[in-house]
């Protein structure tokens, strides 16, 4: 009760205050206050690659609203995307990276945001509208190795939703609340049918189904050689490393050179890794 009253009080303050706090102060307690102050409200990002964009993080990680979410990933996108590029955001969540890339590729580029969870997709669309982007298409479907119907297990954290068949052991699964039926598509089907344009770069963050996504876009990879950027995570260090080794080997065998990004979460009790894969003969 007291905590909620404090949060409500913080959200009466101008959001610019919290943006400045994280820009000038690295104190963990200060950042915690700033995060509480920007949740579930429309703000203008003042830090990072997304500075100047409008964003509402909802119940997702408020670091996005502060512009400090996964800085190594932000920098990588800025370094490898140019106006006119085509980008797939597979596992777009509420759209932090979607809107950043929409800004980077400009009106001549195109972004496809894949997000199967209805509440996330709703906020993703809102964030696109807040910025008046006309170069983004939301595809409210999950992505895997084939087009079918699937079961999406909804986590208590909106970024932890996962297709049921992606589960990789007890320690890797979200805290089940409920599951919903969703449409599942594979990228090759969409590209072959000319539903979407072939990509220059693909970001994959699907909570354990990364290889499944890649298996469903083998023709696209072979024909168009997009840059790949993927995230692997797990609470268990051993399982995390096994996951990372498996997908690294898979992507390397496709003819890519891999580079592990700087740790985006050095101070949390969870293992998260990001890898950018560049085609060797691009």
- Convert the pLDDT of each residue in 245-279 to its tens digit: 999 999 999 999 999 999 998 878 789 999 999 99
* Predicted local distance difference test score (pLDDT) of residue 8: 57
Nearest in space to 280 (alpha carbons), one of 259, 264, 260: 259
| Token pair of 175 as six digits | 């805290």
* Predicted local distance difference test score (pLDDT) of residue 246: 95
* Predicted local distance difference test score (pLDDT) of residue 173: 47
* Predicted local distance difference test score (pLDDT) of residue 163: 79
CATH number of 70-279: 3.40.50.150
| Token pair of 132 as six digits | 């008046």
Q: List Cβ<8 Å contacts ≥24 apart for 32-39.
A: 34/62, 34/66, 35/62, 35/63, 35/66, 36/6, 36/7, 36/10, 36/11, 36/62, 37/7, 37/10, 37/11, 37/13, 38/62, 38/65, 38/66, 39/7, 39/11, 39/65
Which stretches in the chain have pLDDT values below 70?
1-15, 20, 23-27, 157-159, 166-177, 282
Round to whole Å and give the CA distance between 252 and 270. Answer: 25
| Phi/psi of residue 201, nearest 5 degrees | -150, 145
Round to whole Å and give the CA distance between 184 and 148. Answer: 5
* Predicted local distance difference test score (pLDDT) of residue 207: 82
* Predicted local distance difference test score (pLDDT) of residue 6: 56
- Can you give the residue ranges of every domain in the chain? 1-64, 70-279
């Amino acid at each position: 009760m007291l905590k909620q009253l404090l949060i409500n009080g913080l959200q009466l303050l101008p959001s610019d205050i919290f943006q400045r706090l994280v820009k000038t102060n690295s104190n963990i307690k200060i950042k915690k206050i700033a995060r509480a102050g920007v949740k579930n409200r429309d703000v203008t990002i003042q830090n990072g690659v997304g500075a100047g964009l409008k964003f509402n993080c909802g119940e997702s990680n408020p670091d996005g609203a502060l512009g400090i979410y996964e800085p190594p990933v932000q920098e990588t996108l800025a370094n490898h995307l140019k106006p006119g590029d085509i980008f797939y955001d597979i596992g777009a969540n509420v759209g932090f990276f979607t809107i950043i890339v929409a800004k980077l590729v400009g009106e001549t580029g195109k972004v496809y945001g894949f997000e199967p969870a209805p509440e996330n997709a709703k906020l993703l669309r809102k964030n696109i509208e807040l910025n008046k982007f006309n170069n983004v298409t939301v595809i409210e479907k999950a992505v895997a190795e084939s087009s079918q119907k699937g079961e999406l297990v909804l986590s208590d954290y909106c970024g932890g939703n996962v297709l049921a068949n992606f589960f990789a052991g007890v320690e890797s699964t979200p805290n089940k609340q409920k599951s919903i039926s969703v449409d599942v598509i594979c990228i090759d089907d969409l590209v072959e049918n000319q539903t979407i344009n072939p990509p220059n770069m693909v970001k994959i963050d699907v909570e354990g189904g990364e290889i499944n996504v890649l298996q469903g876009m083998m023709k696209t990879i072979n024909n168009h050689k997009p840059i790949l950027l993927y995230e692997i995570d797990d609470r268990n260090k051993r399982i995390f490393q096994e996951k990372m080794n498996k997908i690294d080997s898979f992507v390397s065998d496709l003819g890519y050179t891999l580079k592990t990004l700087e740790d985006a979460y050095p101070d949390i009790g969870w293992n998260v890794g990001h890898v950018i894969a560049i085609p060797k003969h691009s």
